[in-house]
Amino acid sequence: GAGVSQSPSNKVTEKGKDVELRCDPISGHTALYWYRQSLGQGLEFLIYFQGNSAPDKSGLPSDRFSAERTGGSVSTLTIQRTQQEDSAVYLCASSLEVAGARQYFGPGTRLTVT
């Protein structure tokens, strides 16, 4: 079956511009997560969705970052006024809403801010 998909796969943007990153989770997965992977660092949690609500936004690094999920499916991560330190790979994952369930990751979006 289809896995988690993300678009675009690569995004180059100028400092100060806004960007939107999209995630399509596995069908039927009610939980959705966004992580960020910077060079030489581990995956860093950003935000978690249960259905359309976000009970945990603790990892969003600043108010320039926001995310939404509609219809319990597609999610969009928006970064406003991008900075060079936002350059990273943004990974989306989805899982069943079961305690300890494995998270299935998408291929990621590589964001480069010039």
Partner 1 sequence: EDQVTQSPEALRLQEGESSSLNCSYTVSGLRGLFWYRQDPGKGPEFLFTLYSAGEEKEKERLKATLTKKESFLHITAPKPEDSATYLCAVQAFNTDKLIFGTGTRLQVFP
Q: Which residues bind partner 1 (CB under 8 A)?
A: 4, 31, 33, 35, 40-45, 48, 50, 56, 59, 91, 93, 99-100, 102-108
Q: Least separation, in Å, of the C-beta of 92 and partner 1?
A: 8
Specify the residue, 18 or 105, whose C-beta has the smaller distance to partner 1. Answer: 105
Q: What is the DSSP annotation of 95-107? A: E-SSTTPPPEE--
72 DSSP assignment? T
Q: Beta strands 19-24 and 75-79: pairing type?
A: antiparallel
Query: Cβ-count burial of 84 within 10 angstroms (0-12 exposed, 13-18 middle, 19+ buried)?
Result: exposed
Q: Least separation, in Å, of the C-beta of 41 and partner 1?
A: 6
Specify the residue, 19 or 48, whose C-beta has the smaller distance to partner 1. Answer: 48
